[in-house]
């Protein structure tokens, strides 16, 4: 397992109660599962489910989370939907 960081932005940060978590994971899927265990409340689950994700500054898009590998030092960013313009 690799040590990776999940950074939460905007409403994801508020729902998690922290700006970031450091977790052990080998894929994006295992990292997100660990985050869900750390923050089991419904609000966090909803925000996480509707957020866009970046892994090392690259959009995940529709790729299966289990197929996105993470390594030591990987940064995952959770970007909730936002309005404005």
CATH of the domain at 65: 3.10.20.30
Instruction: Check residue 69 and report its DSSP letter.
Output: B
**Do the Cβ atoms of 81 and 13 come closer than 8 Å?**
no
In a domain, 65, yes or no: yes
What is the rounded average pLDDT for all residues in the chain?
Answer: 95
- Chain segment 38-65, per-residue pLDDT in tens: 999 999 999 999 999 999 999 999 999 9
Specify whether the CB–CB gap between 56 and 74 falls below 8 A: yes
Output the six-digit token pair for 73.
């030092």
Number of structural domains in the chain: 1
Tell me if 26 is assigned to some domain. yes
Which distant-in-sequence residues (6+ apart) come within 8 Å of 83 by Cβ? none
Range of the domain at 73: 2-79
pLDDT interval class at 3 (50, 70, 90): very high
Average pLDDT of 8-13? 96
């Amino acid at each position: 397992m690799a040590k990776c960081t999940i950074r939460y932005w905007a409403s994801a940060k508020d729902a998690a109660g922290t700006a970031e978590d450091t977790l052990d994971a080998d894929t994006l899927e295992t990292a997100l599962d660990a985050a869900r265990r750390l923050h089991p409340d419904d609000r966090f689950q909803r925000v996480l489910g509707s957020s866009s994700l970046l892994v090392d500054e690259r959009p995940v898009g529709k790729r299966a989370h289990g197929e996105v590998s993470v390594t030591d030092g990987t940064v995952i960013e959770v970007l909730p939907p936002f309005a404005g313009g």
